[in-house]
Amino acid sequence: MDTSTIIWIIVGIVVVIAIIVVVVLMTSRRRREAHLESERRKAEELRRDAYETDVSRREREADAATAAAAAKQAEADAMQAKLEAERLERESAAHQADAQQLRAQTDERMRKADEVDPDVVRDEDAARAETAEARADDGTAMTDEHVAARDDRTALHDDRRAAADDRDAGSDERAAAEREQAARDERTTLDAQAASPEPRNTESGRHI
């Protein structure tokens, strides 16, 4: 084998090796780029998830802050309402005290006016008038009771008199009936005697 042939063989081997190396390098580069692209996508997904999580976190924090602010506002409102209620209660108590004082002053002035006014009836006079009226009512009631008792006695006497009159009327009726019966008996006897012949005394010619 000559030298040129060996050189071409060596050149061919070098070319094949170079091609293999190029192919391997290109394949490795593609794999690395694919791996890097995959890592980039994965990183992008992780960043997107992290961003969404951060957005959710910030929304939760905003909601929490809003709720805390609302709670503080409600607490402040409750405190304000409590203070307002206490203020109104104090004002009501003060107004009530003023009203009682004014009522007492009004009563006192009315009492003094009644004491000064000669046309106003005093309590003692009113009490005496009420006592006299009560006694008059009691006397009237007693009089009514006596009149009622007297009327009852009069009615009882009238009833007794009516009963006696009824008994007398019955006795008179019986006496009249007896007299009438006696008269009828007497007429019957006389009629019988007149109808029967009278016996005569043969010697003297007189009726026997």
pLDDT for 6-28, tens place per residue? 888 888 888 888 888 888 888 88
pLDDT for 113-132, tens place per residue? 878 877 765 555 555 656 66
Q: Within its chain, how far is the Cα of 54 from the centroid?
A: 59
Q: How many CA atoms lie within 13 A of 146 on its CB side?
A: 5
Given this model, what pLDDT does residue 205 score?
Answer: 46
Structure tokens at 181: 């019966």
* Domain end call among 91, 113, 135: 113
Domain with 97, as residue range(s), is 75-113
pLDDT class for 198, splitting at 50, 70, 90?
Answer: very low
d(CA 140, CA 137) in angstroms, rounded, equals 5
- Asked if the structure places residue 35 within a domain, the reply is yes
- Asked if the structure places residue 179 within a domain, the reply is no
- Asked if the structure places residue 57 within a domain, the reply is no
Long-range contacts of range 152-160, CB-CB < 8 Å, 24 or more positions apart?
A: none
Q: What total number of domains does the chain contain? A: 2
pTM, 2 dp: 0.34
pLDDT above 80 for 80:
yes
Average pLDDT, the chain: 77
d(CA 43, CA 46) in angstroms, rounded, equals 5
Share of the chain above pLDDT 90, in %: 26
- Asked if the structure places residue 7 within a domain, the reply is yes
Query: Any residues with CB less than 8 A from the CB of 114 and at least 6 apart, and which?
Result: 120, 122
- Asked if the structure places residue 156 within a domain, the reply is no
* Domain end call among 85, 113, 141: 113
- Asked if the structure places residue 31 within a domain, the reply is yes
pLDDT class for 63, splitting at 50, 70, 90?
Answer: very high
Contact present, 21 and 13 (Cβ < 8 Å): no
- Asked if the structure places residue 6 within a domain, the reply is yes
- Asked if the structure places residue 178 within a domain, the reply is no
pLDDT class for 204, splitting at 50, 70, 90?
Answer: very low
Given this model, what pLDDT does residue 203 score?
Answer: 44
Structure tokens at 124: 């003692």
pLDDT class for 67, splitting at 50, 70, 90?
Answer: very high
pLDDT for 124-180, tens place per residue? 555 565 666 666 565 555 555 655 666 666 766 666 666 666 666 666 677 777 777
Q: Within its chain, how far is the Cα of 119 from the centroid?
A: 47
Given this model, what pLDDT does residue 200 score?
Answer: 45
* Domain end call among 66, 98, 113: 113
d(CA 77, CA 71) in angstroms, rounded, equals 10
